Structure 1
Amino acid sequence: MIGQQHHADGANFAFTDRWGGVSAVPYEQLNLGGAVGDRPEAVHTNRELAAAELGLDPRRVVWMNQVHGREALVVERPWHEDAVPPADAVVTGRTGLALAVLTADCVPLLLADPVAGVVGAAHAGRPGLVAGVVPAVLAAMRELGAEPTRIRARTGPAVCGRCYEVPAEMRRDVASTVPESWAVTSWGTPAVDVVAGVGAQLSGLGVRDVEHSEVCTRESTDHFSYRRDRETGRLASYVWLDG
């Protein structure tokens, strides 16, 4: 269920795979996304199961209404289920409050400065990378006292540059903003490497402690992939500070 989990000086990072939940085909099993056509009661159960495995209170998990933008919001408590604002990044200084990102190929970015007691989470797909969601979430964390040189950054399972085929013009447009995203697929066509782009932006902003997941969602049948399956579930990535 929880494919990866890391703990560092009070900061926790966790990434789910697709197994251990109650959703039916094509969302099987641990779909955590509420806007992909799955039964709401299945998603609710899955979110409770994932939280229980992580030792979290499901009522203390902050979910976003992700729109592929750059809006970064400071949160002190979860929103009411029918009042979740559009955003692609959230930050908090509250211990025990978990921030969650939903993905199925996009890059989930988790950030923590344990010294300042600040964590952040961002949904960085191709549009968000270009729009600047990475600098936006870093700026919001700095407003709360975080320092880039202290921040631990982790990215979760995402489509890799060898698999993310795009038209040549799109590759050119993305690379004009983030040159490090320029890539070629394993079969020789134009591609975008969002993971590399996120890493380059973090480095440029002074973040040195960066670790990327080795999982490519399109290649791994243990993970949801929109590009591979189209109608599918969503993985979740969580970050929180020990209370």
Structure 2
Amino acid sequence: MRIRRVVTTRAGGVSAPPYDTFNLGDHVGDDPGAVEANRKRLGTELGVERVAWMEQVHGRTVTVVDGSETAPAEATDALVTKTPGLPVAVLVADCVPVLLGDPETGVVAAVHAGRVGARVGVLPAALEAMVEAGAEMGRIEVLLGPAICGECYEVPAGMAADVDKHLPGSATRTRGGKPGLDLRAGLWRQLAEAGVGKVGVDPRCTAEDPTLFSYRRDGTTGRIAALTWAEPE
């Protein structure tokens, strides 16, 4: 199998400010018609008939999908599938989108790993579900997508310490010397300790890159999508 991974940007859609323009989030106050048009264009550009979405709630629930679903998966923060050609998608605007895939079996996952979800173990839960679906830990390849970086993500000292207790390696200092979180660093360490085969990192910071949506930077804003799926070679 060939594992495909795609991360969108703000460009190329029809949404009006402050969601301009390629907002794919249907829960942020944007015109539903604009979101529907943007999602339709996404599918057309990717050459797929359908995309599996989820109603993200900052938890650790994982849902396995097969493409027969007619609505987004309810109250979940990770999607797993072994259906070839079915992209699973995660929406973000500072949280870490995690895309995972086993190229031998074609089992893939998209994970929404924000501060709360990362702290409570959404990524290990997704890995467990992938293994149950037939993936092998040593074959899984991962992309940690664009997210707010540790130099920008300032949090109270107690919060940084608490998250680091549950996600070691995530506590850091911001550019201004304040307590901060680097969730991608903590997640990378978690994946390595789990025995995942390969981990790549998209270094872009959502708060610094104007081509990406950032809730911390802008408040009311849209969402980019990170998607992955398997294609037969």
**Post-superposition offset of 1:78:** 5.2
Residue 19 of structure 2 corresponds to residue 27 of structure 1: yes
**Is 2:150–2:181's contact at 8 Å kept on the other side of the alignment?**
yes
Gap regions ≥5 residues in structure 1: 1-8
Match of residue 73 from structure 1: 63
**Post-superposition offset of 1:50:** 1.6
Change in CA separation of 1:189 and 1:73 when aligned onto 2, cut-off 3 Å: same
Number of residue equivalences: 232
**Post-superposition offset of 1:84:** 3.4
Pick one of 144, 166, 184 that aligns with 1:155.
144
Pick one of 97, 105, 112 that aligns with 2:86.
97
Q: Distance in 2 between matches of 1:223 and 1:178?
A: 26
Counterparts of 1:123-162 in structure 2 under 5 Å? 123-162=112-151
Gap regions ≥5 residues in structure 2: none
Match of residue 4 from structure 2: 12
Q: How far does the alpha carbon of each residue in 1:12-51 deviate from its partner, in whole angstroms, 9 at most, with x for none?
A: 0000010000000000000000000000010000011122
**Is 2:138–2:197's contact at 8 Å kept on the other side of the alignment?**
yes
- TM superposition score normalised by structure 1: 0.93
Counterparts of 1:183-222 in structure 2 under 5 Å? 183-222=172-211
Q: Distance in 2 between matches of 1:181 and 1:144?
A: 29
Q: Distance in 2 between matches of 1:170 and 1:79?
A: 37
Q: Distance in 2 between matches of 1:132 and 1:35?
A: 24
**Is 2:91–2:224's contact at 8 Å kept on the other side of the alignment?**
yes
Pick one of 41, 44, 67 that aligns with 1:49.
41
**Is 1:73–1:87's contact at 8 Å kept on the other side of the alignment?**
yes
- TM superposition score normalised by structure 2: 0.97
Counterpart AA for 2:174: T
Counterpart AA for 2:23: N
Q: Distance in 2 between matches of 1:187 and 1:98?
A: 39
Q: Distance in 1 between matches of 2:33 and 2:209?
A: 27
Change in CA separation of 1:203 and 1:167 when aligned onto 2, cut-off 3 Å: same
Pick which of 205-214 and 131-140 moved more.
205-214
Counterpart AA for 1:151: I
Q: Distance in 2 between matches of 1:75 and 1:86?
A: 14
Q: Distance in 1 between matches of 2:106 and 2:8?
A: 24
Residue 28 of structure 2 corresponds to residue 39 of structure 1: no
Q: Distance in 2 between matches of 1:219 and 1:78?
A: 38
Q: Distance in 2 between matches of 1:23 and 1:158?
A: 22
Q: Distance in 1 between matches of 2:158 and 2:174?
A: 15
Q: Distance in 1 between matches of 2:217 and 2:69?
A: 32
